[in-house]
A and B are shown apart, each in its own frame.
Chain A
């Protein structure tokens, strides 16, 4: 045991002290936060103020057009399509005389693109004006009309879905839970590849540097393999924890940096432009932060994520180690030998995309029970809160049994492969090693 500990310590320390590790661990959250801050910043900056001159000879629109922070509407006289620029307007909206709703066209003349958002807003104003006109023409009182227009849909009612299983009820938000499920699934998928490949490269390094036999003469091959796998797992957990701390910390700092005014502005922008998600990421993120924390079953998600993160890694890491041990100098060889390992991981990812949206579909259920795909698929189902306890139990037990089995099989290949030089190993030979006694 003491020797495994030495191996674990070496694997952990050499990786954690590595410059690439330090950089990637710190840069990734910075990049993530930077992206959000930058998109918030640009969404505010890019909305420059527009002044639009409107020629409204009938006076239909004058009463209902409302200027806001982004667009100001003016109704000057003596202005036309040729001189609006000189008079300091960015566009000219021309409404024909004796405007007749479905037959005539309204044109907005500008000498450069106003942008999709601005055009949408102008169209909204026109729609409202036409609607108002129609209401008024049909004897609807102006006061009533104003009060209808002032209704905010969000104030009318609150909507929620409740999942009821037996005597247990749970509030659910299917959009949110599928987003969390998708996110956790992708995170496990990526980390499986990152840390699995790290194990493989570590084993290949030992074989190619010819240090494997030197070490194997002091420790058992299994101890060396297990030490490496556990050491890298510890690196993965460290990295994950640092990311979580940094992301939470930096978001707090970032949200205090973005002044309340700016945030309010971003929210205004996004509220008044419901169709344009792109430039309101910051506002959405800030809004979402609160809803996220309230609605999701975090008490289940966090322990399960940790379990499937570690369990999935352990299931595949030994297989990656076995592949690393049979590779000779040729990296091409590693690619083709890795295929049987990467295929099930990619397949799990495909199942996961279904499972995040339909957590109770048969393929999602089976995918989350079989250990080949359960780490990725189960994490996509859990946030929905509708996974029965027995399925989680079966999935956990089969994953534990699965990684013990893969580790035992992989150890047999590893033990022989690590000492074999200059020979290309076929899958058939590896199969023979599996059934050979020591």
Chain B
């Protein structure tokens, strides 16, 4: 069951195609990474999913039905990249106001806010103003406000930017917990190490087009380059082979790239027949970072502006 399905979404601005025929689906309960360089069209895509923009063409299906902003918005929690709060408003009142705008009634909202404030040890903040908070503290508050109404779909655009590792982990733990409870989470970021750690499935967009789609594992398998790390007791004397190329040489291991049409077993046999003292043989999977850079460079990093 997919909670969200995008079908051939398009959104053109006067000078650029912000989203140009993008389709993908997000399974219920998954942690989904929406990746792309700056200006790839991620924010426009998210704004369409949250009902802020209407697509020029294409469909958005939410829980199998056509997405209706008025009805479905209370089921979505969105923390935009450009986020902030009223600086002069008391924190408690502010949280209550934003929760009620999401459609919660006063009693429920009050109870939920108190629970979260206890959880994050923010009880003493109620009558303070956002002006008095540090950046990390206001980020925590912003997260609480986003998840307060228990959305089915939680959209986080660069959620960890500006957070120290301690607060970063605190929020990461909460995201895990929400995910375990069945909340579907969309992460939009260009920080790949977080994506590898958290996401089940990713989509990579660039210049308004989708260029990658799949599970993290599958994407890595699809993009591996047959590179292996071979460890030795003692490095064997150099020998020529048309089976592989040596990419890197270190004290006690070699990094080799196996040529197409050959298998790791062929390479192992080749080493063994040369009486090399092998102690390990591992495949090196590409990092998402490498894949990201490679894919983006393929489609040209800098976005060209088309003539209006």
Contact = CB atoms under 8 A, between A and B. Distances in A.
Interface of A: 3, 6-7, 10, 14, 205-206, 209-219, 419, 421, 432, 438
Closest 3 CB pairs of A and B: A210-B84, A213-B80, A218-B101
Nearest to B155: A217
B54 interface: yes
A210 to B, nearest CB: 3
Contacts of A419: 47, 52, 82
A215 B80 CA distance: 10
B265 to A, nearest CB: 54
B100 interface: yes
Contacts of B98: 214-215, 218
Interface residues of B, number: 27
Given A6-B97, A215-B98, A217-B50, A14 B80 contact: no
Interface string B109-145: 0000000000000000000000000000000001001
A419 B81 CA distance: 11
B188 to A, nearest CB: 13
A89 B87 CA distance: 69
Contacts of B103: 218
A218 B205 CA distance: 26
Nearest to B77: A217
B190 interface: no
Contacts of A206: 86
A211 B78 contact: no
A14 B101 contact: no
B87 A209 contact: yes
A432 B14 contact: yes
A218 B97 CA distance: 11
Given A211-B86, A438-B54, 13 more contacts: A6-B100, A206-B86, A210-B82, A211-B85, A213-B83, A214-B84, A214-B145, A215-B98, A217-B51, A217-B52, A217-B76, A219-B101, A419-B47
A214 B80 contact: yes
A14 B88 contact: yes
Nearest to A213: B80
B44 to A, nearest CB: 10
A10 to B, nearest CB: 6
B101 A215 contact: yes
A213 B51 contact: no
A6 B52 contact: no
Nearest to B149: A218
Nearest to B97: A10
Contacts of B102: 218
Contacts of B52: 213, 216-217, 419
B170 interface: no
Contacts of A6: 97, 100-101
A222 to B, nearest CB: 12
A211 B14 CA distance: 26
A214 B88 CA distance: 16
Interface string B55-85: 0000000000000000001001011101111
Contact of A3 (B50, B76, B85, B101): B101
Contacts of A218: 73, 98, 101-103
A230 to B, nearest CB: 16
B14 A210 contact: no
B279 interface: no
B293 interface: no
B89 interface: yes
B80 A217 contact: yes
A92 B82 CA distance: 82
A213 B78 CA distance: 9
A209 B54 contact: no
B308 to A, nearest CB: 10
B236 to A, nearest CB: 58
Contacts of B78: 214, 217
A421 B100 CA distance: 27
A10 B103 CA distance: 15
Given A216-B52, A217-B73, A210 B83 contact: yes
Interface string B161-198: 00000000000000000000000000000000000000
B84 A209 contact: yes
B271 to A, nearest CB: 56
A209 B101 contact: no
Contacts of B85: 209, 211, 214
26 contacts: A3-B101, A6-B97, A6-B101, A7-B101, A10-B97, A14-B86, A14-B88, A209-B84, A209-B86, A210-B82, A210-B83, A210-B84, A211-B84, A213-B52, A214-B78, A214-B79, A214-B83, A214-B85, A214-B145, A215-B98, A215-B101, A217-B51, A217-B80, A218-B98, A419-B47, A432-B14
